[in-house]
Amino acid sequence: MSTSGERLLEIRKLAKMYGSGAKVTHAIADVSFTVDDREFVCVVGPSGCGKTTLLKCVGGLLRPTRGDVLLRGRRVTAPPEEMALVFQEYGRSLMPWSSVRNNVVLPLRHKNLGRKQRNALVEEALDAVGLTPFIDHYPWQLSGGMQQRVAIARALAYQPSILLMDEPFASVDAQTRGDLEDLILRVREEFAITILFVTHDIDESVYLSDRVVVLTHGPTEVKAIIDVDLPFPRDQIATKELPEFAHLRGHVYGLIKRELVESGEELAATMTTATKGDRP
Amino acid sequence: MSGRAYRSAAIAAEIAVPLAILAAWQVWTVHANDPLFPRLSTILVQFREMWLFSQFELHVVPSLTRVGAGFAIAVVLGILLGVPLGLSRWGRLLAMPHVEWWRAMPPPALLPISVALLHSIGNRQKISFIAFFCLFPILLNTIDGVRGIDPTFTETARSYGVRRLERIGRIVLPAALPQIFAGMRTSLSLAVIMMVLTEYFSSTSGVGYVLLISKNTFQLAPMWAAIVLIGVLGYGLNLLLILLERRVLSWHRGWRAAEAQ
């Protein structure tokens, strides 16, 4: 998969703190990386390292404490029209009171489109995820994997240039997960979009992406950025049997494991000091 | 038991039990022969004479108008006030003490002042009174419903640039609707109580007025007929609301069933 090489997204020295004074929590300490046009970038890190916070900052839903998010060189301060966000909890981001069609059409209502054009976009997006027969169903009448496909269709119909995905396949079973991974790779080609994909699954990050950004344990920093030179189209069996895949997977795994050990040691160290301090 | 057979049995039981109670009432009143408790047959004859339909227009229509108008105003006001209060912490901080104060007020305490304030013992006073006390359950449930919305819904809409008013119309209101309906059910029974209360206190028409006049003139059969009618009205109105709720919130039952799996 070739990218145009043009820089689409830049995250510059981003930091996010919650609270203030003595109660301040450093969720993200210092994160910088870039995403090129049509690139697929995965962000992996140990659980609880502020991946969701990072994605919400990128998407303009949260304001970073320090640093910037630049989309085509312009600072993101509110959710930009060029971005669409897919959450992990499909059950809570799809509206149970609306049909699949009305869920997908929601973000299009305030765009200046004719009814015909709007319906065409909705139908095209649902067709791309293979849900055309379910257009008049309610989301809760569908399986988890299908619901997540509705959420993806909604994002596609919005015609974003970049798709932000927050652990989108974390709550479906392994088989469905593989199908959804291939779906998102296919859709990425078909719609020529850029994807920033957050996951805690190392295999998934290597399988999907052009580059993997590995984060440290919180307060979060970038531990490493790894190029993934696996050939496209990717295949659940063939790609995962490649020695390069095993090598990359092992490399990322090693980085995260070392990260966990280090932060574990740090934690152990603080605990010993704390107990020592408590002694009379 | 099949679903269909179960349903028929349930409906039969729902009808059979009240019939048995009525039969017992008839047997007991015939046996007791107490003028305070006329026979069921006497009450029913009286009921037919009065309400089907010679005095229907004179007394039932005004009562129903008052209940309907008061309740409708309460629904509109409750939602109009409840949504912004549910969305705004500051709004709640300022408004809640007042809401709690008026909500705690027993309605009869305000009856005399309502007549004086509104210079009326007609529809204006009655509808306002009903609307005022029906407002609180709807208002409080709307506030709670709006506050309880899963933030993922609103964040999704926000990330897609859905504007505030549209977010309220397409996300906030539908999400809060199940709870708003719960408030409406409470309010509707309150509306019937307030209707009888206001008509009983001061009126020239209405079911509550008939109740008062027949009591004062020791006409016990008409009094009982009025009591039966009030019961029938309350039951029927509630049934209508439940049917409406089933229609409007059919998604909610399906969703909850799916979530429970």
CA-CA-CA-CA torsion sign (A65, A70, A75, A76): negative
**Are residues A203 and A11 in contact, defined by beta-carbon separation less than 8 angstroms?**
no
Structural domains for chain B: 38-248 (1.10.3720.10)
pLDDT at A267: 58
CA angle A174, A177, A180 (to 5 degrees): 160
pLDDT at A39 over 90: yes
Distances (CA, A) of A146 to A132, A185, A266, B206: 11, 16, 42, 57
Tell me which chain B residue has its CA closest to the CA of residue A110: B162
pLDDT at A206: 92
For residue A259, the surrounding DSSP H or E stretch is: helix A243-278
Among the partner residues B153, B155, B158, nearest to A95 by beta-carbon distance: B153
Torsion of CA A170, A176, A180, A181, to 10 degrees: 70
pLDDT at B149: 92
C-alpha to C-alpha distance for A184 and A40, rounded to whole angstroms: 10
**Are residues A228 and A206 in contact, defined by beta-carbon separation less than 8 angstroms?**
yes
For residue B19, the surrounding DSSP H or E stretch is: helix B3-32
Q: Which of A95, A122, A148 to mutate to test the interface with B (most CBs of B within 10 A)?
A: A95
> CA of A124, closest CA in chain B: separation in Å?
19
C-alpha to C-alpha distance for A127 and A153, rounded to whole angstroms: 8
Quick: pLDDT tens for A118-166.
999 999 999 999 999 999 999 999 988 899 999 999 999 999 999 999 9
As beta bridge partners, residue A12 has: A68
**Are residues A24 and A16 in contact, defined by beta-carbon separation less than 8 angstroms?**
no
Please classify residue A6 by burial: count the beta carbons closer than 10 Å to its beta carbon, then call 0-12 exposed, 13-18 middle and 19+ buried. exposed
CB pairs under 8 A between A and B: 72
> CA of A96, closest CA in chain B: separation in Å?
6
Indicate the DSSP class of residue A216.
Answer: P
Torsion of CA B183, B185, B186, B188, to 10 degrees: 120
**Are residues A62 and A233 in contact, defined by beta-carbon separation less than 8 angstroms?**
no
Tell me if B177 and A97 make a contact (CB, 8 A cut-off): yes
> CA of B74, closest CA in chain A: separation in Å?
25
Tell me if A106 and B162 make a contact (CB, 8 A cut-off): yes
C-alpha to C-alpha distance for A244 and A219, rounded to whole angstroms: 31
Structural domains for chain A: 1-82+160-233 (3.40.50.300), 90-159 (no CATH)
Quote the distance between the C-alpha of residue B226 and its chain's center: 18
pLDDT at A198: 92
Residue A205: both structure tokens together? 């990050």
pLDDT at A268 over 80: no
Mean pLDDT by 10 residues, chain B (261 residues): 85 90 91 87 88 84 95 97 95 94 90 84 90 96 95 89 91 95 96 94 89 90 91 94 94 89 76
For residue B35, the surrounding DSSP H or E stretch is: none
C-alpha to C-alpha distance for B174 and B162, rounded to whole angstroms: 15
